C-alpha cells in the first residue's frame, strides 16, 4: 500500500473524502502505473523471451511476476528493488487523481499535505522498528508500512503491569526495547505469583489472541523501561486478509510458538506426575491452561 495508502486513510479519517473515492483512485493508480515487466525490459534486466518464459511459469503458480523472476534466478533482489522503486516514483500521485475526479479541491489537498508528511515520518520510523521484530522479519516494505498504520506505540516505566491474568485477550504486543517478566497467580497464598520467565526486545507476547479471544493466562510486568507496539486483534486480522502472503509467515511463527509452549507444558506435567501428582490434578492444570 505504501505512502499513497496512508494519504488516503489520512484524508478519510478527516472526513475530506469517502472511502470508496480512495479505493477508486487506488485502482486508477494501479492501472496507470508502469508494469513490472515493462520496466524490467526498459532497464534491460530481461529480454522479451525471458518475460514470456516467466509469464508461462507464473500462470502455473500463485506468485507475482517478481517472485517468479527471483525464484527462477532471472532477476536479483537488488534488481527487483530497483524496478519497484521506479514503479513507485513514476506512478500517478493519489492526491492528483482525487483532485482530477473532483473528490477534493487542489487547495484543500495542499493544505493537508504538510501535516500529512509529518504523520508519515512517524509511520515510516515505526515500520523500520517493526522490521526488527522476529514475527515480521520476512515481511516486505509495503506490508511493514501498512502494519505501522494500525499499530499503537506505548511506553512503560519499570515495574508497570502490561497484562493481568484473567483479563480479556484482544490485543498482542511486540517489544521494541526493554525487558518484561511473566508470572502466574498462585493458589497457595492470596496475591502470590510464580515467576515463569522473561522476554526481551524483538520478541512478542499475547499473540495467541489471534486464534482465540479468551482470557490472559499470565501477568506481564516490565523489568526495565520498555517500549511496546500494540496491535488490536480485529485490525490485525484484517491486515492478514489483505496480505495473504505475509500472513503465512506470521501464522507459521505463531503456531510454532504455541507448539513450543505445549511441548514444554507436556514435559512439566510429566515431571509433576513422577513426583506423585494425581491424574485429576494434572487434568485440572490442563483445563486451566486451555481455558
Q: How much is the average pLDDT of 141-169? A: 91
Q: To which residue does cell 472511502 refer?
A: 19
pLDDT at 66: 92
Domains of the chain: 2-107 (no CATH), 149-284 (2.60.120.10)
Q: Which has the higher per-residue pLDDT, 89 or 267?
A: 89
pLDDT average, residue stretch 13-41: 92
Task: Report whether 2 contacts 144 (CB < 8 A).
Answer: no
- Kind and range of the H or E run holding 12: helix 2-13
Phi and psi at residue 177, in whole multiples of 5°?
A: -155, 155
CA distance 88 to 266: 50
| Of 82-91, 173-182, 232-241, 274-283, minimum mean pLDDT range | 274-283
By C-alpha distance, which of 95, 100, 93 is closest to 111?
A: 95
pLDDT digits (tens, 9 = 90+) for 166-223: 998 899 999 999 999 999 888 765 668 888 889 999 999 998 888 877 888 899 999 9
Q: Look at residues 251, 288, 262 and name the one whose alpha carbon lies nearest to residue 172.
A: 251
Residue showing cell 507476547? 205
72: pLDDT confidence band, cut at 50, 70 and 90?
very high
Tally: H helices and E strands in the chain: 12, 8
Task: Assign 126 to helix, strand or coil.
Answer: helix
Q: What is the DSSP letter of 34?
A: P
DSSP string computed for 124-138 = HHHHHHHTTSGGGTT
Cα–Cα distance for residue pair 4/280, rounded to 1 Å:
58
SS3 181: strand
Q: Are 171 and 231 in contact (CB under 8 A)?
A: yes
- Report whether 158 contacts 177 (CB < 8 A): no
Amino acid at each position: 500500500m505504501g505512502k499513497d495508502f496512508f494519504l488516503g486513510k489520512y484524508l478519510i479519517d478527516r472526513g475530506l473524502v469517502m472511502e470508496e473515492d480512495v479505493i477508486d483512485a487506488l485502482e486508477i493508480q494501479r492501472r496507470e502505473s508502469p508494469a513490472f515487466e515493462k520496466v524490467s525490459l526498459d532497464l534491460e534486466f530481461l529480454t522479451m523471451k525471458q518475460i514470456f518464459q516467466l509469464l508461462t511459469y507464473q500462470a502455473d503458480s500463485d506468485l507475482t511476476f517478481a517472485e517468479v523472476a527471483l525464484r527462477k534466478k532471472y532477476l536479483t533482489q537488488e534488481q527487483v528493488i530497483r524496478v519497484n522503486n521506479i514503479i513507485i516514483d513514476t506512478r500517478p500521485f493519489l492526491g492528483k487523481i482525487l483532485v482530477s475526479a473532483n473528490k477534493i479541491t487542489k487547495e484543500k489537498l495542499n493544505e493537508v499535505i504538510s501535516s500529512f508528511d509529518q504523520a508519515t515520518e512517524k509511520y515510516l520510523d515505526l515500520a523500520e522498528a517493526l522490521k526488527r521484530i522476529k514475527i515480521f522479519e520476512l515481511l516486505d516494505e509495503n506490508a511493514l508500512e501498512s502494519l505501522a498504520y494500525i499499530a499503537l506505540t506505548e511506553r512503560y516505566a519499570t515495574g508497570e503491569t502490561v497484562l493481568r491474568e484473567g483479563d480479556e485477550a484482544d490485543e498482542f504486543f511486540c517489544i521494541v526495547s526493554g525487558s518484561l517478566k511473566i508470572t502466574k497467580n498462585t493458589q497457595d497464598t492470596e496475591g502470590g505469583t510464580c515467576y515463569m520467565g522473561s522476554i526481551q526486545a524483538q520478541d512478542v507476547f499475547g499473540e495467541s489472541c489471534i486464534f482465540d479471544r479468551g482470557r490472559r493466562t499470565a501477568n506481564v510486568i516490565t523489568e526495565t523501561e520498555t517500549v511496546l507496539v500494540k496491535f488490536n486483534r480485529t485490525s490485525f486480522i484484517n491486515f492478514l486478509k489483505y496480505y495473504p502472503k505475509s500472513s503465512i509467515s506470521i501464522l507459521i511463527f505463531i503456531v510454532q510458538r504455541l507448539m513450543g509452549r505445549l511441548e514444554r507444558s507436556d514435559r512439566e506435567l510429566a515431571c509433576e506426575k513422577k513426583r506423585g501428582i494425581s491424574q485429576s490434578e494434572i487434568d485440572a492444570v490442563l483445563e486451566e491452561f486451555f481455558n
